Each structure stands twice: as structure tokens, then as C-alpha cells.
């Protein structure tokens, strides 16, 4: 294919406009940071936000979208059910969907999962260690066996989702919890990837490893016919404790 992969980055774009602690890290919106890293990988990217007509997700936009990324938090209920129906149908028809962080509670993710998608959470800025548990999966390409996020919001089990078709990442938190932080699904002809790191008051989306996951996930979720991202060779070795034992 000579045409670039077409991505639509969707964001509520509310916190960044009204909260200084969010604007500090994302002055132009989380969607612009994500769009920048995807464009840097050669993709054709447009953005869409909640307060645009039809939330920016018109039939014409979705028809020209190979993969949609979704970030939402405080205004899930404001997303029109007719737009959720539209997005769902495009996923079933083959459009990829990447759901990020608090998007786990979005209408579209709950609709596609068929569960409450509820979880435990804590916001004290603790460390998160993201373990790659499926290193041969394309979403894990180019990553080390784990990477750390210095300060994050804890998401903890139990996480009320169906068992993932493929579990790529598990996170451990400084407070002791663990979480299925990278989950791959297929619905109809479409691929879905949920990735939890990415709190709005922290610069997590600026971190290179997080951006690599999102780029990989978008390429993995692309409809059939796009070149697949290369997977990483699995290497096993003697494990050294990372914490005092």
C-alpha cells in the first residue's frame, strides 16, 4: 500500500481546557501529543473531540479511519449513543480501536466488552512497573522486558473485563497491586487494544516507551492488508530480584 495508515485520535479535551494541572503537561490537549507521535511514525492523523458536532466522529470521518484511538474520563455519559452505535459498527466491520487509560469506562469499550469494566484505583503518584508478558506480540515490539513509569495512577484488580484474547502487559505498582494493563481483543473483523498507563495530570504520554506501545498498537490494530509490525524474539535468562527479598 502506498497510502499511509489513517488514524483518528479522539479525546474529550475537557480537562486540558479547565485545569492547570493538566494543561501543564498537555497545553494543546492529550490528543495533540498522541497525534504527534503517530505522525512521527509516518501515519496520517486527524483529531476529534467531544464538543465538536457529532463528537468529530461523522460517518465520513470513520469511513476514512483505519484505527481510532480513544481517551475519555469525566464525560463518558455525554457521548451520544448514536455515535457509539456508529463506532461499534465500524469496529465490527474492521476498524481498529485503541482504548487508553480511563477510556476503560467509556460507552464504546463497555459496549464491546459486554461487562461493567470497573476496577480499583488510587491516585498518589506511585511507581508503576509494566511487565511485557507476551514479548512475541507485535504490540511489544522494541520494548525491554519491563519498563517503569515513575509516577502514575494505580489501576488494580479485579478488573471486570472478559479474559483478553491476548494479554501483552501486566503492571505492578509500588503499593503492591497488579493489573492487566495491556489487553488485546477481536470483535467482528476489528481489533481492539486496551492500554492503561496515561493519567491526565502526569506526563505519561510523553514517555518514549508509552508512545512506542501506542504506535505498535495502532499498527497491530490496522485492518487486514496493512504491513504487520515485526514481533520481538523471546529471550529467557536467569531472573535477578528487582525488590529486596
CA angle 9, 77, 11 (to 5 degrees): 15
Distance CA 9, CA 21 (A): 22
Say if residue 2's pLDDT is above 60. no
Give the chain's end-to-end CA distance (angstroms, integer): 52
Query: Residue 83: pLDDT band by 50, 70, 90 thresholds?
Result: very high
21 vs 224, residue with greater confidence: 21
pLDDT in tens, 137-166: 999 999 999 999 999 999 999 999 999 999
Distance CA 129, CA 172 (A): 5
Residue 159's pLDDT is 98
Q: What value does the mean pLDDT take over residues 178-189? A: 98
- The distance from CA 95 to its chain's CA centroid, rounded to whole angstroms, is 15
27 vs 225, residue with greater confidence: 27
Residue 117's pLDDT is 98
pLDDT in tens, 202-245: 999 999 999 999 999 999 999 976 666 666 666 667 788 888 88
% the chain with pLDDT above 90: 89
Q: What value does the mean pLDDT take over residues 72-100? A: 98
Say if residue 50's pLDDT is above 90. yes
Say if residue 184's pLDDT is above 80. yes
Distance CA 102, CA 46 (A): 21
pLDDT in tens, 54-73: 999 999 999 999 999 999 99
Instruction: Please give the domain boundaries of the chain with CATH numbers for all domains.
Output: 6-114+181-221 (3.40.50.880)
Q: What value does the mean pLDDT take over residues 186-194? A: 98
Residue 58's pLDDT is 98
Say if residue 125's pLDDT is above 70. yes
Say if residue 21's pLDDT is above 90. yes
Residue 79's pLDDT is 98
Say if residue 1's pLDDT is above 50. no
Closest to 162 (Cα-Cα) out of 144, 186, 132, 136? 186
35's grid cell: 497525534
Amino acid at each position: 500500500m502506498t497510502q499511509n495508515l489513517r488514524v483518528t485520535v479522539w479525546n474529550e479535551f475537557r480537562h486540558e481546557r479547565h485545569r492547570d494541572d493538566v494543561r501543564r503537561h498537555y497545553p494543546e490537549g492529550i490528543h495533540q501529543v498522541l497525534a504527534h507521535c503517530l505522525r512521527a511514525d509516518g501515519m496520517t492523523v486527524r483529531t476529534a473531540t467531544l464538543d465538536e458536532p457529532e463528537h468529530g466522529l461523522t460517518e465520513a470521518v470513520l469511513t476514512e479511519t483505519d484505527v481510532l484511538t480513544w481517551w475519555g474520563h469525566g464525560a463518558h455519559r455525554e457521548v451520544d449513543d448514536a455515535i457509539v452505535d456508529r463506532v461499534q459498527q465500524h469496529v465490527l466491520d474492521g476498524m481498529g480501536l485503541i482504548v487508553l487509560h480511563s477510556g476503560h469506562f467509556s460507552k464504546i469499550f463497555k459496549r464491546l466488552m459486554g461487562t461493567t469494566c470497573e476496577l480499583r484505583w488510587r491516585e498518589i503518584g506511585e511507581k508503576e512497573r509494566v511487565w511485557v508478558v507476551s514479548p512475541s506480540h507485535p504490540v511489544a515490539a522494541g520494548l525491554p522486558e519491563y519498563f517503569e513509569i515513575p509516577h502514575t495512577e494505580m489501576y488494580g484488580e479485579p478488573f471486570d473485563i472478559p479474559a483478553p484474547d491476548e494479554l501483552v502487559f501486566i503492571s505492578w505498582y509500588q503499593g503492591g497491586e497488579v493489573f492487566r494493563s495491556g489487553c488485546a481483543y477481536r470483535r467482528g473483523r476489528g481489533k481492539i487494544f486496551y492500554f492503561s498507563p496515561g493519567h491526565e495530570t502526569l506526563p505519561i504520554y510523553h514517555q518514549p516507551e508509552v508512545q512506542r506501545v501506542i504506535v505498535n498498537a495502532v499498527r497491530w490494530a490496522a485492518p487486514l492488508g496493512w504491513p504487520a509490525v515485526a514481533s520481538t524474539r523471546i529471550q529467557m535468562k536467569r531472573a535477578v530480584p528487582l525488590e529486596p527479598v
